[in-house]
């Protein structure tokens, strides 16, 4: 889920395009590669809506069955990690820098862990509801939750297009000659290199993002500045989105 931290070194197995250029440095990092404030607000809104729904169910079942009310409350807490996996996704980003340019390959690994978690949550909660239904048929209404989990897990498992979309796989290959400005945002250890290019939607200018590991920011900044000597260097906050920054 969102809290799983990978320990594997992905750099050697990445499909690099600059394999004929000697590597100067490479690293991988796991980061929330988007506007974190907006994600926090989204999680709050979803949690409030979900809490209102499940706790209203719990209140309506209170007179019929206290156990059913507890199940509804439990479903809210079971859903919270799932919501966090959607709003607080992190990306694994692998960088490879050479004398001529850099490559960046990124993806979101959450889809690989969310599917089995949702599947087993559906199975276990479904069995629990069926057992409880032997004592009180009203518990059959609780199958809505497990059935929903199972349906979503099935859709996620069978749709390759959905998996590719959710994983957000991207591969960038940029030349140092295209750098127009360098910006450092120390709070997020983010180096923004401003470039103008045409990605099929017409020419536009934006900051490409190079996230640094702790303790390596100055090394990366010094190297990038050495490859783009005649451009301005600033230190300020960047407005981050999933594709670029401003």
Q: Name the residue ranges covered by the structural domains of the chain.
A: 17-33+96-108+174-246, 34-89+109-167
CA dist., res. 165 & res. 157, Å (int): 13
68 is written with which tokens? Answer: 């059913």
How confident is the model over 186-221, as pLDDT tens digits? Answer: 999 999 999 987 766 777 889 999 999 999 999 999
What one-character DSSP code corresponds to residue 240? Answer: B
Q: What is the pLDDT of residue 9?
A: 85
Nearest 5°: the CA angle 49, 156, 147 is 60
CA dist., res. 195 & res. 228, Å (int): 12
- Closest CA relative to residue 169, chosen from 15, 62, 38, 3: 15
| Residue 5: pLDDT band with limits 50, 70, 90 | very low
Q: What is the pLDDT of residue 20?
A: 95
Of the chain, the end-to-end C-alpha distance in Å amounts to 29
pTM as predicted: 0.68
- Say what angle helices 36-61 and 66-87 make with each other, to 10 degrees: 170
How confident is the model over 61-102, as pLDDT tens digits? Answer: 655 566 666 666 666 666 676 666 666 778 899 999 999 999
H/E stretch holding 190 reads strand 190-198
């Amino acid at each position: 889920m969102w809290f799983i931290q990978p320990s594997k070194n992905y750099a050697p197995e990445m499909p690099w395009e600059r394999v004929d250029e000697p590597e100067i440095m490479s690293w991988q990092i796991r980061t929330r590669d988007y506007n974190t404030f907006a994600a926090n607000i989204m999680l709050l809104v979803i949690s409030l809506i979900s809490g209102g729904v499940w706790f209203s169910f719990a209140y309506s079942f209170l007179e019929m069955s206290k156990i059913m009310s507890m199940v509804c409350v439990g479903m809210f807490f079971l859903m919270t990690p799932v919501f966090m996996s959607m709003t607080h996704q992190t990306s694994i980003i692998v960088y490879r820098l050479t004398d001529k340019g850099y490559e960046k390959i990124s993806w979101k690994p959450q889809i690989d862990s969310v599917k089995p978690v949702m599947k087993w949550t559906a199975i276990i909660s479904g069995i629990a509801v069926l057992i409880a239904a032997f004592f009180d048929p009203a518990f059959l209404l609780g199958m809505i939750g497990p059935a929903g989990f199972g349906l979503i897990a099935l859709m996620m498992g069978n749709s390759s297009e959905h998996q590719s979309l959710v994983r957000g796989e991207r591969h960038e290959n940029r030349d140092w000659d295209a750098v127009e400005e360098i910006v450092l945002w120390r709070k997020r250890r983010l180096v923004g290199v401003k470039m103008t290019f045409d990605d099929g939607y017409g020419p536009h200018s934006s900051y490409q993002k190079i996230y640094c590991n702790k303790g390596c920011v100055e090394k990366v900044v010094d190297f990038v500045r050495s490859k783009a000597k005649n451009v301005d260097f600033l230190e300020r906050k960047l407005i981050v989105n999933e594709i670029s920054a401003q």
